[in-house]
Structure 1
């Protein structure tokens, strides 16, 4: 591994093109060689609602290389030419990285918000305009808030085989019935009938439906399982859609701090010690649902979620 650093702009992440321009301007650049380190950094996300995520990653040790300005310029020039030749490949790689980041954000947001229901908004017509779909979703949220003031959801957009868009919603605490605002006697109607009626009023002649079969499918599923389910659409649509187009959004107050940064718990000298630390963070009221290590022993991840009420681990 090799890293070139502009000593006048420490802390900034610069592209090879920016570094080459800095080299041409005569700014001081330094080359560093990286090698596999012996320590492991442990980071943890306490997402609330009994959800915990922990990662363990091997650190890289960096040492200054004895490269002069000519060697650094030659390396950067070759790197820039290579990036130009592999532009399509690099764009695909960056899109994949963006998809993974989006997947993690959606997964953690769903856990932190405590989602418990999955719905799908569809069109009867072959509605292929993503911008229009997003506009419909925004208006749908505005109208639902009139009858469900605490309405919150995370949405993932997916294109059907015929080309029409539909929207998967991970939401929570939808009541069985909602009072009809037009009835003085407080008559109540089924909440999903109201939600379906609102979506149809928004899309008009395009025709719409709210698929509650997913609600039945996810009935009894944990927030982590629903989060994993909807996050899967994120990766799929990043791979198939226009690069950098937003394929997910959220509406409403999740009731939590959604941009929580992980807590760095320290740097340990052994992978075993780091993994033991990760497990020590779990509680008897939690179940470890993900425990995975890569084949080279460079990283480890652990996800824990709350056990059903009244159930505790034996150890």
Structure 2
């Protein structure tokens, strides 16, 4: 008697989706995501749904929200071509996050009067409890003007500004974006589920993710090869690219440097 494998009768089929996002300057992000297609999807509508509010404010939901915010910060940093980071600090032990937001709003409004000011900002809480703000921007900044405006808002003897490029080598903007993103999950319990985890200027256009390939079988090696092939086809250099692979989640991510 022939023993059929369990897989022969499985209600699921494992597949891979390849998607890409092109920022137009050599930077591309390509992902391969594994998923199990349920062959009886129409039956899902009969399953009971969780009541509204049942799963709110859990630690997992907070972490999921932080990860979504982290993705948006990374994409927006790349979309504006951010290559420098401004850090706004207080000399006092300033523990009021709402005040931080108010002070930064005053700063960005005044900078906006001097010219276009595109930014992505993430707050960080220090061990002593004080807040400071990391702001990703593009291009050289006038340190003296920034410091003068910031101190006029928070007090001449109270505020300070640091402007730097954490990765001085050209073509590593994806690393700066990742560097800023690390603050999104560092202190995720400091935020409510629906609280805004980052602040950003208006008008930032993020390229739409495009479907590139669909593998109707479970072959992670072929999926990863398809990711690299797609990046090369887009004309991107794979020199010093960033990659991430999680076998358990079935996810591979590749990010290239700008031209």
TM-score w.r.t. structure 1 length? 0.68
Aligned-pair CA distance for 1:252: 5.4
What secondary structure is seen at the aligned counterpart in 2 of 1:274?
Answer: helix
Distance 1:216 1:54 in 2: 25
Describe the shift of the 1:207–1:297 C-alpha distance in structure 2 as closer, same or farther (beyond 3 A). Answer: closer
Higher relative contact order (CA 8 A, sep 6+): 2
Distance 1:276 1:40 in 2: 12
**Of residues 53, 56, 77 in structure 1, which corresponds to 2:32?**
56
Question: Hey, what does 2:135 align to over in structure 1?
Answer: 169
Hey, which of these two has a bigger chunk of strand by percent?
1
Distance 1:285 1:274 in 2: 18
Structure 1 unmatched runs, 5+ = 1-33, 176-190, 308-315
What secondary structure is seen at the aligned counterpart in 1 of 2:256?
Answer: strand
Superposed CA deviations along residues 128-184 of structure 1, whole A, max 9, x for unmatched, are 22112111111101111233x022111001112222211101111125xxxxxxxxx
Distance 1:40 1:164 in 2: 44
Distance 1:91 1:218 in 2: 36
Instruction: Assess if the C-alpha contact under 8 Å between 2:66 and 2:188 holds in 1.
Output: yes
Q: Which has the larger radius of gyration?
A: 1
Instruction: Assess if the C-alpha contact under 8 Å between 2:85 and 2:137 holds in 1.
Output: yes
Question: Hey, what does 1:137 align to over in structure 2?
Answer: 104
Question: Hey, what does 2:221 align to over in structure 1?
Answer: 272
Aligned-pair CA distance for 1:51: 1.1
TM-score w.r.t. structure 2 length? 0.81
Question: Hey, what does 2:85 align to over in structure 1?
Answer: 118
Aligned-pair CA distance for 1:59: 2.9
Question: Hey, what does 2:199 align to over in structure 1?
Answer: 249
Aligned-pair CA distance for 1:253: 4.6
Question: Hey, what does 1:44 align to over in structure 2?
Answer: 20
Count of aligned positions: 242
5 Å-filtered alignment, 1:1-315, equals 36-64=12-40, 76=48, 91-147=58-114, 149-175=115-141, 191-204=142-155, 207-212=158-163, 215=164, 217-220=166-169, 222-251=172-201, 253-254=203-204, 257-258=205-206, 260-269=207-216, 270-283=219-232, 285-287=236-238, 289-296=241-248, 298-306=250-258
Describe the shift of the 1:297–1:273 C-alpha distance in structure 2 as closer, same or farther (beyond 3 A). Answer: farther
